[in-house]
Amino acid sequence: MIANNLLDAAVHARDGASATVVGNFAQASSALFASAAAGDLHLLSSASVAIDKVAVRADAAVDWDGQLRPIGSSADIGADEYGTPTLPSTPLNVRVVR
């Protein structure tokens, strides 16, 4: 299965291979990333073609940084989940009893 990738061209069969191809974006460019030339492939906020576009898969519940998916309504296409996770609120009025 080839799923939920940012690509700069369509996926083509090679040497008689076959695969299920789903959820990919085949018109990706370096403009989607923080600094593709330097290898920083974190998504930019302007990468709307990739952000919140796919359902979360059990085998991809975290991104390449170990960040939980999704942040937002759906997961992002590619290896990076854009954004900062919402952390739980600090508890108020806590009392510790020994």
Q: What is the DSSP code (8-state) at residue 92?
A: -
* Residue range(s) defining the domain that contains residue 33: 1-84
pLDDT of residue 44 exceeding 80, the answer is yes
pLDDT of residue 84 exceeding 90, the answer is no
Note whether residue 79 is domain-resident.
Answer: yes
pLDDT of residue 78 exceeding 90, the answer is yes
Work out the average pLDDT over 64-68.
Answer: 90
Note whether residue 93 is domain-resident.
Answer: no
Note whether residue 15 is domain-resident.
Answer: yes
Note whether residue 31 is domain-resident.
Answer: yes
Q: How far apart are alpha carbons 40 and 8 in whole angstroms?
A: 17
CA-nearest of 95, 75, 96 to 85 is 75
Q: Which residue has better confidence, 55 or 30?
A: 30
Note whether residue 11 is domain-resident.
Answer: yes
Note whether residue 94 is domain-resident.
Answer: no
pLDDT of residue 21 exceeding 80, the answer is yes
H or E stretch covering 2 = strand 2-3
Total domains in the fold of the chain: 1
Note whether residue 54 is domain-resident.
Answer: yes
Q: Please list the residues that pair with 68 across neighbouring strands.
A: 62
